[in-house]
Amino acid sequence: MFIIDIIVNILSTPAILVGLLAMLGLVLQGKPTSAIIKGTIKTIAGFVVLGAGASYLLSGSLNDFGTLFNFAFKMQGVVPNNEAIVSQALTQYGQATALIMCFGMVANIVLARFSRMKYIFLTGHHTLYMACMIAVILSVGGLSGIPLIIGGSALLGLVMVISPALLQPSMEKITGSKDLAFGHFGGFGYFVSAQVGKLFKGSKSSEDINFPKGLSFLRDTTVSISITMIVFFMIVTGVAVMNGGLSDPTISALFAGGDTKTHWLVWALMHGINFAAGVYIILSGVRLIIGEIVPAFKGIAEKLVPNSKPALDCPVVFPYAPNAVLIGFLVSFAGGIVGLLVLGMINTNLIPVALILPGVIPHFFCGASAGVFGNAQGGLKGCIAGSFAHGLLITFLPAICMPVMGALQFANTTFSDADFSVVGILIGNVAQYVQGYGLLAICLVLFALPIVYNLVAPKKVNKEADEKAYSK
């Protein structure tokens, strides 16, 4: 367990995990030592920069905005949070989670090698979260020990290739290449956003918005995000202050700065700019990672898993459509508010349901990504419609998943991102009716299906490639 603990720490630390993958790719290509060291360190540094930007956003703006919003508008309910539920579950299922995570990554490589879904999922913390949820569900389904590890690893490996596969057609439109895949367990939400976006084909891109000459400065992403978020922070902070926020210990503590208190207007101004600064840091880190991981990964694709693609965390798409990032966040958050109101009406007039509050963190990271996917398929209109649909989805899915969480002994908490809810709903309900080795058999059959399909089903013939080969 000491060794497993070290391995899990490495695998759940994105910077180290992706750095090791980059190093392996460079070694397999036979690169000189200096190039291996340079590529490995720059990849790790890129993830550190990305993580620093995310942490800066979380500590400096997103968490505070969420606290203010809930206070200002007197919202009560469940805020979906991956970290909260995983931290509870790890106390009881830590060992099973660690083993499922380790062998699940091996299962991912096996599927990438022998099926047609050539994706290596590299978002370590999401792998840990999904491993934890699967461990809990299968344990409640009567599995323990080695059968639990085998079934959980098979299921985890399967989800790790299906999620990127769903998104790859849109991902190629976003990046303009086939070198990158998207590895984040909000995949079903982004897929829905892209499909909704397709309804608006022909709409001009969010990145082609024509500003009047006097407003040309808004084409600068940092400036436009700063101005937008300053307005939002001032409105929400102003409402919170009018509702007695300055006399509330939690809210007044936000404005404290050492021995003095910052005026709420100045605080809102700076937090709007801090938000833009966090996004700028994230984009810088992503550019650094892409510049290193794609060339390095060719060694893995050529030697270990032919034609494989690295599936990276959600900020990897942010630089391709910065306007869609901001629009996606705001519209997804609006969708979350509308979804909350609908749940309130259902709870009052039809059946009891959990009221899911719009969490700022999932609506930023997932909503922004949904905006980029919607924009790729349907331009600005697709971005707006797709991210709104995404906001509704990540409100209703956690509400539907809440009974499953209750059956797993987790009350008043649930996962935030779409794939967790989908897997929880599907496998959680199966585990309530199929127990023990029957549940293990289902996991193994599901894992084997993509491999069997690859062996049995006829492969598409690439006529263009055949003609080129023939002409040569």
The mean pLDDT of 207-212, rounded to a whole number, is 78
Mean pLDDT of the 411-417 span = 77
User: 3-state DSSP call for residue 182?
Assistant: strand
pLDDT in tens, 249-303: 888 888 876 555 778 889 989 888 988 888 888 888 878 877 787 777 777 777 7
In total, the chain counts a number of residues equal to 472
In the predicted structure, residue 462 carries a pLDDT above the cut 80: no
Mean of the pLDDT values across residues 44-61? 79
Distances (CA, A) of 436 to 30, 137, 319, 427: 47, 12, 46, 13
pLDDT of residue 469: 43
Pick 3 or 423 by higher pLDDT.
Answer: 423
Structure tokens at 30: 């036979």
Helices within 245-359 (DSSP H only):
249-254, 264-303, 322-349
What's the CA angle centered on 153, arms 148 and 155, to 5 degrees? 100
- Please state the domain extents for the chain: 2-453
Is 75 strand, coil or helix? Answer: coil
- pLDDT tens digits, one per residue of 100-110: 988 888 899 99
β-strand 119-121 against 309-312: which pairing, if any? parallel
pLDDT by residue (tens digit) across 345-401?
998 888 888 788 888 888 988 999 999 999 999 999 999 999 999 999 999 999 888
CA quadruple 251, 254, 258, 264: dihedral, nearest 10: -90
Percent of the chain's residues with pLDDT above 70: 92
pLDDT at 216: 64
How is 340-374 classified by DSSP, letter by letter? HHHHHHHHHHT-----B---HHHHHHHHHHHHHHH
Question: Is the pLDDT score of 470 beyond 60?
Answer: no
Tell whether the model's pLDDT for residue 422 goes beyond 90.
yes
pLDDT (mean) for 113-132: 89
- Distance (Å, rounded) from C-alpha 264 to C-alpha 465? 63
Average the pLDDT over 82-87 and give the result: 77
Q: For position 257, what pLDDT does the model report?
A: 60
Computed over every residue of the chain, the mean pLDDT equals: 85
pLDDT at 60: 67
pLDDT one-digit tens code per residue, 157-180: 999 999 999 999 999 999 998 989
Nearest alpha-carbon partner for 115 in 164, 171, 49, 81: 164
> What token pair was written down for 444?
């193994």
| Residues 196, 324, 81, 279, Cα dihedral to 10° | 170
Pairing relationship of beta strands 309-312 and 181-182 according to DSSP bridges = parallel
pLDDT at 432: 85
